[in-house]
């Protein structure tokens, strides 16, 4: 009788935990994940740090192509153009757009879900960054954005039109929780 009671309460607790830990509206992603930037920004490194802190099995590849996605179950695209980053990678913006588009195409073919993140705020917006945002968002399953980067409502409008869940956070470190939750089982 006592054992039955313990099993029932444990089951109840487990179900409650599952309910509390998961947000039913947000899509789920699987591990391992490949992290790359769309625009060679430095925030990609911060996403790798957050992924490490969230305990997500991941690899960071700044110049990932379709072939590199083989064996990965999720793609994390960190949005925003950096001219210094593009210079450091030795490519121009058109080459980078080409790489990102081919990566998106490959993930579509292999049915690998894409999580887009924009953590650079207002400073990582502008015509060049917006090219990447507009190219990537239609393929995203979910978007996480630091609020100041969505001052003009571009992310809100696009996500509403495309029917993609959008998570807005105040600061970069706040992106840890939604990232963790979206990979939790």
For 99, phi then psi, to 5°, come to -60, -45
- The strand ranges marked E within the chain are 33-38, 58-60, 74-79, 114-118, 142-146, 166-169
Please, which residue, 110 or 151, has the CB nearer to another protein?
Answer: 151
Residue 173 interacting with another protein (CB under 8 A): yes
The one among 108, 110, 151, 171 contacting another protein by CB under 8 A: 171
The one among 33, 38, 48, 64 contacting another protein by CB under 8 A: 48
Residue 77 interacting with another protein (CB under 8 A): no
Task: Give the per-residue contact string, 18-47, with another protein (x = CB under 8 A; - = no).
Answer: ----------------------x-xx-xx-
Using CB under 8 A as the binding rule, the residues of this chain from 119 to 138 that contact another protein are 121, 123
Number of residues forming the site for another protein (CB under 8 A)? 20
DSSP summary character for residue 66? G
Residue 93 interacting with another protein (CB under 8 A): no
**Residues 6+ positions from 151 with CB-CB distance below 8 Å:** 122
- Rounded-to-integer distance, Cα 140 and Cα 164, Å: 7
Closest-CA residue to 118 (of 65, 55, 171, 160): 171
- Residues binding another protein (CB under 8 A): 40, 42-43, 45-46, 48-50, 82-85, 87-88, 90, 121, 123, 171-173
């Amino acid at each position: 009788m006592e054992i039955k009671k313990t099993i029932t309460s444990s089951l109840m607790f487990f179900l409650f935990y599952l309910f509390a830990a998961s947000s039913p509206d947000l899509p789920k992603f699987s591990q391992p994940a490949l992290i790359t930037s769309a625009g060679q920004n430095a925030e990609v490194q911060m996403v790798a740090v957050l992924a490490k802190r969230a305990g997500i099995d991941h690899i960071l590849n700044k110049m990932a192509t379709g072939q590199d996605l083989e064996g990965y179950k999720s793609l994390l695209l960190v949005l925003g153009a950096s001219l210094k980053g593009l210079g450091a990678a030795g490519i121009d913006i058109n080459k980078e757009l080409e790489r990102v588009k081919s990566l998106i195409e490959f993930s579509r073919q292999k049915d690998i879900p894409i999580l887009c993140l924009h953590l650079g705020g207002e400073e990582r917006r502008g015509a060049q960054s917006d090219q990447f945002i507009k190219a990537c968002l239609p393929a995203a399953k979910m978007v996480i954005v630091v609020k100041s980067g969505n001052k003009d409502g571009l992310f809100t409008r696009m996500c509403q039109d495309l029917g993609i869940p959008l998570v807005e956070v105040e600061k970069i470190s706040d992106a840890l929780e939604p990232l963790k939750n979206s990979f939790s089982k």
